[in-house]
Structure 1
Amino acid sequence: MTAPLLSVTGLNVDYRTGRRRSFRALTDINIEIAPGETLGLVGESGSGKTTLGRAVLGLAPVSAGSIQFAGNEIGQPSPAQRRKLSRDLQVVFQDPYTSLNPAMRVGDILAEPLRAQGVSRAQARDRVAGLLGEVNLPADAADRFASEFSGGQRQRVAIARALAIQPRLIVCDEPVSALDLTTQARVLDLFAEIQDRTGVAYLFVSHDLAVIRAISHRVAVMYRGAIVEQGPTERVTEHPTHPYTQTLLAASPVPDPERQRERRLARLALAASA
């Protein structure tokens, strides 16, 4: 059996709200992600999805529990350990309009993490050309500013930046929620193509169960800072056992009008019994 790339065990995250008060954002979180696997993390706004992603990236305070990456504890990384981890752990944010520096050309945006790792200017230039090809952008995109591109193209630039130093895991924090449905589908296809080609793993965060279903091998459902259900995507999305997952499924749009009507009625029944 392959050892997990990421293993989170008994994780609690508390935020201080005063001298003697704190707010518990995450309670007893347990997840694993294998190399080359996508774990979809789904839940409503405020459920703790983004906080879990931040904890994995070393950006949220770990109060208890363990976060291990490739067998090494990273729950409370030192500055030196965080710099080292940046090569293996990357992130794609929700909003491509604000996650890219508008004052930099795309080529410089993609070369920046490479140069920080000591890659020569010539090698960085060649790598940038390859990255643009990987995300299906033209070579001359390197000479243009991010503001010249559409939302979908900007998100492709953000994905290319995350791929620049060949990470082993990418935290994808609502990376398609700001895009229209057609562009969402194209970007999700791109994520899948990249995973097939490189073997990168994803922690894919979304409030949209339809998106999670399209991209994930396994699903973890979050509600009020805890994981209430997890398992293979087909099982969780077709035969959910927790009432909250059932509510999410009933609210998830489907292209078949009859199935959509059935789900609407199921959602109303769940609301009436709550």
Structure 2
Amino acid sequence: MSIDETTTPTPQPLLAVEELHVSFAGRGWRAARTPVLCGVSLDIRRGETLGLVGESGSGKSTLGRAILGLVPVSAGRIRLDGRRIDTMSRRQRRKLSHDLQVIFQDPYTSLNPSRTIGDTLAEPLTVQHISPIEARRRVSRLLERVELPQDALHRLPREFSGGQRQRVAIARALAMSPRLIVCDEPVSALDLTTQRTVLDLLIDIQEQTQVAYLFISHDLSVVRALSHRVAVLRGGQIVESGDADTVTRSPDHPYTQRLLLSAPVADPQRQQKRREELESLSCAQC
């Protein structure tokens, strides 16, 4: 059988999660393990943002941590650029930091309060045996990229606002020029105005570097603003996925519909209408 020459091959995804299972041990030596992720599959392309949305306890942060190697995988596979990473040793994981980084939720606790911003940003570079002169040059460029002043080098995290600290966390994640960043609720601790500026910064960085994001959030409006595609996680399973605008505005699954209707809006009349629609949806499923 001949291959149709007009067919364009599908490019290999940057990240591929295949039938992933994660379970945690219960209390006591005879306690059964509790499943947290049950057969999750998703992929992320180069330069793309995949939004992962779900309520607290849905398993979305566990999925991010499994990708980062912070929790053990019970079954399934995680591949980065075709290379399996869920079975890597700690030493191999350290080398993987060139390609895979993370931005955590809380900018107040993710930075060492006793270290200057310059030392924080230079640390991953010096660990990779980059010379001090080159490290300083790269740190200076990182501050420019996240729109922080150069005098931030000599200041401590407590001297910055929450939004500025999150910019430092973004700069630290960018230090090794990764191809994928796991963003675990990176703006949920910020006020709405600061959220917008940080999201705009992430979008600009992606346009400049073609870095891919796994953007984890419980907020559909935030996910819509940043993502190309969206996957909805409920009880450790993907219940809906697709184009970001479609999933976050006209979802098919009742769970996603409830998430959308539960999101607050500024208009009181629209908010009341959403409450009524949510009540109707709940009654229809009784």
Q: If the TM-score is normalised by the length of the shorter chain, which range does it land in?
A: over 0.9
Contact 1:210 1:253 survives alignment (8 Å): no
Pairs within 5 Å for 1:20-169: 20=30, 21-169=32-180
**Residues 1:16 and 2:15 are matched in the alignment:** no
Partner deviation per Cα, 1:8-32 (whole Å, 9 max, x = no partner): 0100001111434201010000100
Deviations 1:49-78 (A, max 9, x none): 000000100111111111000100111221
AA matched with 1:173: D
- 2: distance between equivalents of 1:256 and 1:116? 51
Q: Which amino acid aligns with 1:150?
A: S
**For residue 212 of structure 1, what is the amino acid of its counterpart?**
V
Could you say which residue in structure 1 is the equivalent of 2:12?
A: 3
Identity rate, percent = 61
Letter matched to residue 4 of structure 1 = P
Q: CA deviation at 1:257?
A: 4.7
Q: How many positions carry a matched residue from both structures?
A: 274
| Structure 2 unaligned blocks of 5 or more | 1-9
- Aligned Cα root-mean-square deviation (Å): 1.2
Provide the rounded CA distance (Å) in 2 between the counterparts of 1:193 and 1:30. 28
Tell me how far 1:271 sits from its aligned partner.
Answer: 2.5
The whole-number CA distance in structure 1 between the counterparts of 2:236 and 2:268 is: 33
Question: 3-state SS of the aligned residue for 1:110?
Answer: helix
Hey, what's the Cα distance between the residues in 2 that align with 1:167 and 1:207? 25
For 2:21, give the aligned amino acid.
Answer: N
2:229 is matched with which residue: 218, 232, 257? 218
The one-letter code sitting in structure 2 at the alignment partner of 1:15 is F
Query: In structure 2, the residue corresponding to 1:170 is in which secondary structure?
Result: strand
8 Å Cα contact 1:67/1:74 also seen in 2: yes
The residue that corresponds to 1:195 in the other structure is 206
Q: Tell which deviates more after alignment, 5-14 or 79-88.
A: 79-88
Report the Cα distance in structure 2 between the residues aligned to 1:265 and 1:58, rounded to whole angstroms: 43
How do residues 213-252 of structure 1 correspond to structure 2 at under 5 angstroms?
213-252=224-263
How far off is 1:264 after superposition?
2.3
Amino acid paired to 1:163 = L
What displacement does 1:255 show? 4.6
Shift >4 Å, 4+ stretches:
255-258
User: Structure 1 residue 258: deviation in Å?
Assistant: 4.3
